[in-house]
Structure 1
Amino acid sequence: MKLLTLGGTALLTFFATVNVNAESSVGYEEATFEMGGQGPAGGVIFYLTDDKLHGMESAGYLKDSQGLYMLAEWGCNDIYKDVGFGVKLGEGKANSLELLEECSSERGGLIAAKHADNYVQNQYSDWYLPSQDELSKYSYLMWESGRKVVNSSADIEHYCTWSSTNYFWNAIGAGYAQGMTQEFDEYYSLYTSGRERSKECAIVPVRDF
């Protein structure tokens, strides 16, 4: 393991493993990757295809210029706003595009999806807010490897983290729309929850490669 800085956040990560296959039939060499290793943009790989040629990487929790965790609203505080219903792996990008087109902040700032969209690392600018399953895969990888979701400090455990997935709650004929988050319970175990869209939660940009 080694200390890696992602987007101003210091975190412990596995040593990046990149293998180069023998020359392929189209005449060039292809790199393979490892789970928990470093992706093309310098993020932590949390999903890989079976051939280990493609996958998803995360930049970790965004921080501001003062080193504090960046928090933002989910946006689209309108009741029943029909956006971001993709939950599964591979649906975060489409969710984020919907949020960028349809949603704004109640406080006048940037919504979480816009912060993720604005993020640039190692000249890669194609980051987005993950779907709930994408965020869960990243979070559980970090948790199981003993890194408590991206870094060695405990203060992030007190924050919710936004996914780009919508959550609609309905009880006894009354309903309201929320955003889905990844959070900790009192035993520091990860769980999924719905949160009011005007609440400010942390942001974890991801990208495909």
Structure 2
Amino acid sequence: MKNYILKTVAPIFLLFTSLLSGCAFEDNLHNEITLDSGKAGAPIKKDSDLYQTLQKTTVQETAQQAEEPPCVEFIYPLNLRLYDANLNTIGIKSINSDAQFSTVLENLSGDQSLSISYPITTTLADNTKYAVNNNAELNIALKNCTREDIIQYCNDIVVPPTENPTKFFWRVKYAETNDNTYFSGKFSINPGSSLVFYYNNKEYNGSWFFLFVDDKLHLNIKLEGDSQIAKYWSFDQEIEMEGTNILIKTLPKNINLEIMLTPQKVYNIGDFGPSKGIVFYDKGEYSFGWRYIEVAAKDLKDSEWGCSNSSIIAARNTELGSGYYNTAQIVNYHDNLINYYLNPSVCNSINNGTVLAKEATKYTQNYYNDWFLPSVDELELIYKNLYLKNLGELTDFNYWTSTETDQNSVRTINFKTGEKTTTSKVPEKNTIKARAIRYF
């Protein structure tokens, strides 16, 4: 299969709206790709970058005699799954040549899409192999010729260009199927593979680099020191690169890192933030990976704070910058109970299984999904900087914080009076409100 040597560089911020794309190289080299049995990958839409690249790489040789030799060759046969506009399967085609593959790509209508089964294995131009697990990694294989090229590509993705007016972070993304031990933390990757991990208002220095082990792409992370955090984040693990995520394959659960982009513009109190929330705090400079805090545009749905008669001592922080950490401790505590959300009696018979911190973690506004409950000091700033100025459509109710008082109660603030109060984790229904916040 012939492949045009593409000479395009995609800005990093386009990761939010497209598959990974990047530099190709002018080596006159060939890769081979074999198809193993596996599950169908995500549908590849006709207007996507990957679809267009596949079209160029499957054009018959006679049509591109003036082109440079390809980086990639498919080994046939392989199967393609075809979908209609509603992503219903409409057929599976067995493909035996570039010509057949090219014909399928050309004849697919604009509202249809296709997928390829993964994993597949690529034989790179340097006679080494590369395991491909998804569309994003296929895109990498199609556009890069050697292991060194792929490693350089990955490095370019995780390290922001110095001239770009945007801060780049890789946050530990929460999901019920993930290892969420440090999901309120985030990495800042610097040129030269050095890094800083921000967690609980502390900074941890270390290193980060990509390598191949047993034909699979790995990520090596090493934090300095002998703390529990340093031990956790010092490993060499296989990864999958997919869109704006890096999946680190650890047992028993994987760790998911997601890119976060923070525009470097000046915000004032009362301005709309990146998520269309309202900015209520500016500490004047960036530290620990953030400068501003914004509050969501609407209240969270009514929920209990969590399991009554249970202590979450790690969620008793009050200061600015501790709300995300508190929230993570609350969610992890309840996630680690056996089936609490469907059977809250495993903790306390008076609970109904709702957890406010969980609702905040699942909240999304303007595509941003890194929300959490404010600490008591953060909530006080919402009261002073927004409520008292009639901003944010806040009401004169009590509002929850993420700051636990003791095993049965939580810090709240009465927005009618400004008084700091203590409220039962299981109050009367619809008596306490909550707003999620986020750092940026």
TM superposition score normalised by structure 2: 0.34
> In 2 relative to 1, CA 75–207 (structure 1 residues): closer, same or farther, beyond 3 Å?
same
RMSD, aligned α-carbons: 2.4
Query: Once the two structures are superposed, what CA deviation does each residue of 1:160-197 show, in whole Å capped at 9, x if it has no partner?
Result: 211000113xxxxxxx631111114xxx3211111111
The structural deviation recorded for 1:80 is: 4.1
Q: What is the CA–CA distance in structure 1 between the aligned matches of 2:310 and 2:331, rounded to whole Å?
A: 17
Structure 2 stretches of 5 or more lacking a match?
Answer: 1-161, 166-263, 335-339, 345-349
SS at 1:102 equivalent: helix
Counterpart among 335, 340, 360 of residue 116 in structure 1: 360
Is the counterpart of residue 58 in structure 1 residue 295 in structure 2? yes
The answer as to whether partners of 1:81 and 1:177 remain within 8 angstroms in 2 is no
Percent of matched pairs sharing the same residue: 24
Q: What is the CA–CA distance in structure 1 between the aligned matches of 2:387 and 2:328, rounded to whole Å?
A: 28
| Corresponding residue number in structure 1 for 2:265 | 31
| Corresponding residue number in structure 2 for 1:141 | 385
Query: Once the two structures are superposed, what CA deviation does each residue of 1:50-105 show, in whole Å capped at 9, x if it has no partner?
Result: 14883110004425xxxxxx221111312544241110000011100111011356
Q: Which moved more, 1:94-103 or 1:135-144?
A: 135-144
| Corresponding residue number in structure 1 for 2:307 | 76
Structure 1 stretches of 5 or more lacking a match?
Answer: 1-25, 64-69, 169-175
Q: What is the CA–CA distance in structure 2 between the aligned matches of 1:180 and 1:90, rounded to whole Å?
A: 16
Residue type at the aligned position of 1:151: E
SS at 1:115 equivalent: helix
Higher normalized contact order (CA 8 Å, seq sep 6+, divided by chain length)? 1
Q: What is the CA–CA distance in structure 2 between the aligned matches of 1:79 and 1:120, rounded to whole Å?
A: 28
> In 2 relative to 1, CA 40–82 (structure 1 residues): closer, same or farther, beyond 3 Å?
same
| Corresponding residue number in structure 2 for 1:192 | 420
The count of aligned residue pairs is 163
Q: What is the CA–CA distance in structure 1 between the aligned matches of 2:364 and 2:387, rounded to whole Å?
A: 25
Counterpart among 378, 386, 402 of residue 164 in structure 1: 402
Q: What is the CA–CA distance in structure 1 between the aligned matches of 2:362 and 2:310, rounded to whole Å?
A: 27
The structural deviation recorded for 1:143 is: 2.8
Q: Would you tell me which structure has more helix in proportion to its own residues?
A: 2
Is the counterpart of residue 85 in structure 1 residue 327 in structure 2? no
Residue type at the aligned position of 2:278: V
The structural deviation recorded for 1:111 is: 1.1
> In 2 relative to 1, CA 109–94 (structure 1 residues): closer, same or farther, beyond 3 Å?
same
Q: What is the CA–CA distance in structure 2 between the aligned matches of 1:137 and 1:144, rounded to whole Å?
A: 10
The answer as to whether partners of 1:84 and 1:166 remain within 8 angstroms in 2 is yes
SS at 1:57 equivalent: strand
TM superposition score normalised by structure 1: 0.69
